[in-house]
Structure 1
């Protein structure tokens, strides 16, 4: 009998995958692992190669989402001297705060735009030697790894970005001094097809610089030089304030003045699992700058206004005095 038909080798390719947990079907074992908090995943990954592989897979991310086991984590981007550092807040009060550094981005320009799509952070454009870049870097939070993404159609710096219906919209950050820049002032990235496409935009909304942006109620709100822009994805002009989705109006969040400093610059915020998380720069000791963070519960009060209460507020990091907060984002994993 030839070795090609030997009983010891025939049919090896059809062998069933190894069981993740003995005596349990793999689909049941996957649900057990998906219900485990992510803080335990580093320990679980030491059990076996199959566990290590499944804990980093998109299948686990999807299963956790379907089981409503998703946990939200804050990712913080800080510029220290001439480099950009990324951190994640993986544990918060009442537990001890744990701020971990994640792998450095291979190349980040000044004035990049940011968006979160699923378990991935997209860092788009920015200025390289005063030239707006088309580059896109993607960080897969499941496996803590950066990869290069599809380039945008035009270079951008200080653009606005947001995710609506599973697609990334990016706008502005470029002078409309050429046909290509005018036509592609706004673009959309569809992860299914993996490329950028033009979004038609009226002339009156084509601001160059976008200072901040957020997605509320399926609309991208962007703060521009002359007020603001709202992408519906139909366009209209607007101004940026605290937003009440149901009444479609901007309001001030009351009740948190005494617990937080008066922010002039160096502050950013994100919606982390339904709570407002604010990160800001403090004075420190003269040689180092303190980075503080607060979690705020925002709710409607009796007269239809917005009120907030501070859940916790702490210094989470000390960095050299010349540092600055760039951005923070929430990622559900």
Structure 2
């Protein structure tokens, strides 16, 4: 008697990968970016498409890429206010009527259409969370955190906002997380090294589930799974930018003398980005990912105002080297001379 067996079903991931590239890209563009690292593990084809330029272009056409800059007016301490801008496709910073943040110096990051302001700064720790809806331009108050923080490391991993450090040594809870789905706070793994008075936090979308933050001469990586903190020594302590930027699992910093440098967090070795000739006679305000490229904001101080310039850099990895190419470098807008840069935010979804 012959036995019969039903034909094996083809795995859904195989079926999906067999679709034409343009269809797969159209689907991937609608998937939040925080899931891209998981998708890149499915197949070599998906890994390639997740990082391709066509995906970034499609996301841009769908309005998935947003870029906001906030300046703080310090002319009159009794009347501090904030000016918000967005970078448009025609390479201009356009003013938008967002209100001043209730806690302007909090750790800030953007998830979807919402901008989250978490904790306090310097001698002003707080449990407050404020959320700005970029579509309506209105603030709402979020649930209060478990403990008050100041100058903490803030980042997003797997639909959760992690807030590590920035609390008193006496506190039992040294790290906490906010679940974006349930809108509730929970205790996170305590860091093995105190993350106090951190610089600019870096939103990590890498596979290692780590949040990267600069502190003085180091970039530190907080592992959200077990709390382990790894140290990556910077080439020099003083940067011409306050930012450390993470794009496609590669860290970037900028120095006036050496220019743009990159580091693989696993090897911890810093190298100069090849092929770039950036103007050294500028003050870098911020670096951030924009459409898969590195947006480089810098200023020229004039008597009447501050000119804000943006240089857009395309990055290409080739083994042991990363090549950089300036796609454009333009004047994008001006602010009054007493306005100081505060935040540079891009969507993480």
**Pairwise same-fold verdict (TM > 0.5):** yes
Structure 2 residue runs without a partner (length 5+): 1-28, 31-57, 75-79, 235-250, 253-261
Q: What CA distance in whole angstroms lies between the structure 2 residues aligned with 1:98 and 1:213?
A: 23
Q: Does 1:254 align with 2:273?
A: yes
Q: Does 1:320 align with 2:336?
A: yes
Q: Deviations over 1:82-119 (max 9, x none)?
A: 222222113334xxx2513232135234x310122222
Distance 1:76 1:213, change over 3 A: same
Q: What CA distance in whole angstroms lies between the structure 2 residues aligned with 1:139 and 1:250?
A: 38
Q: Does 1:122 align with 2:116?
A: yes
Distance 1:151 1:85, change over 3 A: farther
Q: Does 1:148 align with 2:141?
A: yes
Q: What CA distance in whole angstroms lies between the structure 1 residues aligned with 2:174 and 2:309?
A: 35
Equivalent residues in 2 for 1:135-174, closer than 5 Å: 135-174=128-167
Q: In 2, are the aligned partners of 1:134 and 1:156 still within 8 Å (CA)?
A: yes
Structure 1 residue runs without a partner (length 5+): 1-33, 36-64
**RMSD of aligned C-alpha atoms?**
3.1
Q: Does 1:290 align with 2:290?
A: no
Q: In 2, are the aligned partners of 1:91 and 1:98 still within 8 Å (CA)?
A: no
How far 1:68 moved relative to its partner? 8.6
Alignment match, 1:201: 190
Distance 1:279 1:305, change over 3 A: same
Aligned length in residues: 259
Equivalent residues in 2 for 1:95-106, closer than 5 Å: 97-106=92-101
Q: In 1, are the aligned partners of 2:276 and 2:325 still within 8 Å (CA)?
A: no
Q: In 1, are the aligned partners of 2:153 and 2:165 still within 8 Å (CA)?
A: yes
Q: Deviations over 1:7-57 (max 9, x none)?
A: xxxxxxxxxxxxxxxxxxxxxxxxxxx99xxxxxxxxxxxxxxxxxxxxxx
TM-score by length of 1: 0.68
Q: Deviations over 1:151-203 (max 9, x none)?
A: 22222232221111111111223332x23xxx232111101221221212144
Q: In 2, are the aligned partners of 1:210 and 1:224 still within 8 Å (CA)?
A: yes
Q: What CA distance in whole angstroms lies between the structure 1 residues aligned with 2:106 and 2:97?
A: 18
How far 1:244 moved relative to its partner? 5.3
Q: Secondary structure of 1:206's partner?
A: coil
How far 1:127 moved relative to its partner? 3.6
Alignment match, 1:21: none
Distance 1:216 1:306, change over 3 A: farther
Alignment match, 2:299: 281
How far 1:263 moved relative to its partner? 6.3
Q: What CA distance in whole angstroms lies between the structure 1 residues aligned with 2:281 and 2:185?
A: 39
Q: In 2, are the aligned partners of 1:115 and 1:162 still within 8 Å (CA)?
A: yes
Q: What CA distance in whole angstroms lies between the structure 2 residues aligned with 1:124 and 1:256?
A: 38
